[in-house]
Amino acid sequence: MTQAQIVTSSAKRRLTGIVADGAFKVVLGAAYVIASAQLGGLLGVSAWLMAVSGVVLLIGGGIELRYVRSRPIRTHLRLMIAYDSGWVLTALAGALMAWLGGSAGGEVWIGYQAAAPLAFAALLMAAAPVRPVADRLTENSAH
């Protein structure tokens, strides 16, 4: 396998991961909206917070999918790592709160999901777009 094939294969895997991440957010958001009362009951969260979180996840996932080819893969990956790290930390905090007998664990976790996708989407939209290949080739040939 040549170096170019390895790079292309790696980029395709990353691109697939970005699409899967966006699609997961959309599906999770739809589930939150459709089953907000039932899921809210299981997590000890009001139905309105579940529905808001679902709408925000739908928007965030949609924006992620919309910008998948127009923003650098590196930007997507950094934002995904930050977002998912926060998701894990708030899930652990929520689980710890529940384990200690608190009642706000679900609200912490779902609250994060109601805010973080908006930050993710805003940062993604504000990121520098991918420059067309022709622009990069012209720049490289000038050097």
Residue 16 confidence class, pLDDT cut points 50, 70, 90? very high
pLDDT at residue 12 is higher than 70: yes
Which residue stretches of the chain are H helix? 3-34, 36-43, 47-66, 73-99, 105-126, 133-142
Residue 137 confidence class, pLDDT cut points 50, 70, 90? very low
pLDDT at residue 60 is higher than 70: yes
Sole residue written with tokens 């290949």: 133
Residue from 91, 49, 6 nearest 41 by CA: 49
pLDDT tens digits for 99-114? 998 888 899 999 999 9
Q: What are phi and psi of 68, to 5 degrees?
A: -60, -35
